[in-house]
Each structure stands twice: as C-alpha cells, then as structure tokens.
Amino acid sequence: ELSPRTEETFGFTIGQALVWTAYGCNVLSEVSALMTLIVCFSTRYFLLMVLPTLESKIEWVQRTRPIIKMTYGYSCSVWFFSLSLMFGGIVASPDFGFLAVGIMAILAWAAACVHSQMYLQATFLLVEEVKNVLHPMRSRILYVEEGSTGWRNAVESSSGGEKEH
C-alpha cells in the first residue's frame, strides 16, 4: 500500500505503477537467480556424471555454452535486483529515493565492470587450460561456425584429410 507521502508526490496511478514495477523486478531477479542455479547444477551433473571422456565434455561445453547462460542469468539477477531496489527506494521515500537510485546505479555499474573482468580472466585461463590439455593429442572433432546462421558442421580430422558430415 502506498504511503500518504508517496501518493502525494507521484499520485495514486504512478505510485501503484512504481510499486508493481519494483515487485516485478524483484520477481524477475529471483527467477533469473533460480535459472542460474539450475544451469549450474545441470552443467555440473553432465560434466561429472553423464559425459565419459574429456573430449565429450569439451564438445558438450562448446555446443551448449553453459558458461554464457550462467553469465546472462547472473547479470540479469544483479540488474533486476538493482532495479527493484531503485524503484523500491523511490516508493519508500519520495524525498530521498532518488539518492538510492543514484547509489544503486553506481554500484550496479561497478559490479558490471568487476563481473566482466572476472569472466574475461576466467575465459583466458580456460582457453590456456584447454590448449594445454589438447596439445599432446589433437581432438578428432572440431566445430566450425558457418555464416551468420550459427549452424555448426562437424569436421572430422583424419590423417588423409578432412571430411564433412
């Protein structure tokens, strides 16, 4: 329910819209956090329990790209949570709510900068680790991106040349 000060400042309709926007952003942050956890657990399950060889694990990670899905889920969770705090701050205190908006915008921007640097460094480390693992024996199956459609063709390397499937 709106406080008298919020209703006086924004009016009933805009005040209700701010409350429902804050609530919607809160629900979306919870849903994206839950989806991120589901992707994390299913990725761990497939890598530890289902896929038998290192090559199949690398191929599965390359095909499904779970790290990208986890990154998007985490980013959505942080952004929707920040938005829910911003709108909630405006509704809770119309006089000082804009201060909460400014502070949360700065914190969300800082989190995005730190988050992107962490994933950049993790990606570099992952690439180096995969190179070190695959260097002694080359993988027989490579995936080549084709055009702008995003379809992949399996290319099998053999001693006599390359064949497309």
Looking at residue 158, what is its pLDDT? Answer: 39
pLDDT at residue 112 greater than cutoff 70: yes
Alpha carbon distances (Å) from 33 to 46, 95, 109, 114, 140: 20, 31, 19, 19, 37
10-30, pLDDT tens digit by residue? 888 998 999 999 999 999 999
Looking at residue 32, what is its pLDDT? Answer: 93
Q: What is the mean pLDDT of the chain?
A: 78
pLDDT at residue 161 greater than cutoff 60: no
**How would residue 122 be classed by pLDDT, with cut points 50, 70 and 90?**
confident
Give the integer Cα–Cα distance in Å for 102 and 9: 19
**How would residue 33 be classed by pLDDT, with cut points 50, 70 and 90?**
very high
Alpha carbon distances (Å) from 72 to 35, 76, 78, 83, 119: 10, 6, 10, 16, 11
**How would residue 164 be classed by pLDDT, with cut points 50, 70 and 90?**
very low
Which of 18-27, 60-69, 125-134, 136-145 is the least confident region?
136-145
97 vs 160, residue with greater confidence: 97
Specify the residue for token string 């400042």. 9
How much is the average pLDDT of 80-106? 87
